[in-house]
Chain A
Amino acid sequence: MIGPEAIRIALQGLLANRLRSALTMLGILIGVGAVIMLVAVGNGSSAAVQQQIQSLGTNRITIMRNFGGFGSGGRRSTNGTQSRSSNLTAADVTALSDKSVAPDIKSVSPVANVQSVTASWQGATYSPSQFVGTVPSYFEAADYQIAAGRLFTSQDEQSHARVVDLGQTVVANLFGTANPLGQFVKFNSTSFQVIGVLKSKGTNGVQDQDDVVLAPLSAVQDTLTGYTGTYDQITVEAVSSGSMTSATNEITSILDGTHKITNAANADFRVLNQATLLAASTSTSSVFTTLLGAVAAISLLVGGIGVMNIMLVTVTERTREIGIRKAIGARKIDILSQFLVESVLLTMIGGLLGVGAGIVGSQFKVVGIQPVIATYSIPLAFGVAVAVGLFFGIYPANRAAKLRPIEALRYE
């Protein structure tokens, strides 16, 4: 039988039992809606985590001192001072900046973290959680952007200029609504001029990334830390996110050389790579999403069993009708397609409504997570629903098609 005819006859069948059809569709609707919504919730939570990690700067590699490590000479850091070999030095920076040895490294930024700084301006005081002395390449590596004013330059760094760029949290606590640009702020006892305000980065899940002060490394060493010739950490930016691994390897081999490390277990430095963090979180969150999706898929399966159940009832109820149709010339394929189209229509309409419900449902926050609809989940859930209709419809439809007309006609 030609397509439109099969659909017309199947629709008639569905409309003949409106309530029953609607309830069966509801089962599929809930299944499809649940798949879309739960995958969106999983997706939303992983998107949130990824965004947090991304805000750290994806191409960023951080080298830190490893306090528990042993130097090449076996000299351990004692009484609070670092042994020479466990310090990150200007020599390390120079070695890492050698493009011929480290082609995957874009920039190298030494960083001095100043502890317990108190800022004061016109009677207001505030202690920012981070006070960082560094060089301009750090901005790009750590993904800091300017919102107002300007970032300090390498010229500022070379001339030991006492200027700072402030994060939004620091500005809010110190200046309120006043314009901070051009103002002089005292950090401990040294005045720095505010030349820029950073764009907000939000929290990275651990700390407020806007609670930060960035100043030229030279000026910080002049005034706050004193010149030690060593750094708290070195921030490296890789050429691209694809070259993170090779950049990490280059760093390890260069520092193994400068620090005379022969056994990796004894390294006195650590290389932290945001991409590895990202990969770890992506894999955990995809497990989470898959789990949620699987739970929802089970409800879709249950919906499918509902379809089969109803189709079996329908076929039995309409045995006589099937007999009549066969007596007046319906072939096996006509009966088969009639009931198959009926069950697929059930799941298709239910699936479409489920897609609608899933999309609407995903607009609302669920346990604090804003769901993000995964585009693949819509055709997937809908496709599975239709496949469920085909799969669970085929047995009842085949049963109908195989009925012998003479026996079907005699059925009461």
Chain B
Amino acid sequence: MLIQQLLNGISLGAVYAIIAVGFALVFNILKFSNFSHGGVLTVTAYAGFLISSKLNLGFVPTILLTAVAGGLIAMGIERVAFRRLRKKGSPIILYFVSSITMGMLLENLITVFFSSNFYSYPKFFEKSSFTIFGLNMAVTDALMLIISIVSLTILMVVIYKTRLGIAIRALSMDTNTTSLMGINVNAVIAATFFVVGCLGGIAGVFLGLNYTLYPQLGQLIVKGFIASVLGGLGNLFGAVLGAILLGVLEVTLTNIPFIGAGLSPVVIFVIMLIFLILRPQGIAGKIVHEKA
């Protein structure tokens, strides 16, 4: 029972991890909390739905195409909402406002085009769950876990082993000096947003599968935010750890009779506050201040 809960928690945490890492990456380079990522989650959840139902594609091609779509959308957001701010050297608070506005805009566009009806993804698999070592696991959960692990691994390789990754890390430390290296900072930021959008697209499909579709789906970005705060803002490994912790915590709390699904968000926030008082830099982070 306990191990079963742990497994469920980790599967849920894997989805949060994908969201949290996308959130953390942007925080890393531009130093603000990018809530427009919620808009990307909503739009890609619907995009994945359209791709799978209209094109009649299977699970993996749907994820891949949606990831690319998410990447392009995030690049578009960066272009429209943040690049001009960067050019003018605007204060961080404006990025924050701009990102929230972008998130709401995307959410409302979805409401306009799909109204507030609920949709759900086609059934991708014959069986909905399987048993392994006496543990019961939903097929989608297992796939989410696998795909999360694969995409996080690819992400870490990109960030820590490639030239683009070095540039992204350099950018997170010092923008001006990065451009003195002959590096096109705008291009690196655009590429980062593409990567972040891909992660958002993958998370969008997962969310759509888990919760059926509604325009406010992207507000689950809050989970990614909590996870990356728990992990230490801007720290990628921390974000993953925070997300797993959050997933396990949620599943556990929901299964405690007098807390249940209703009270668990409250308890989570209380735990987050206590945690931040005790360890403001998060699990893995050094202290970083959002300059807003």
Q: Do A and B come from one complex?
A: no
Q: A residues within 8 Å of B by Cβ?
A: none
Q: B residues within 8 Å of A by Cβ?
A: none
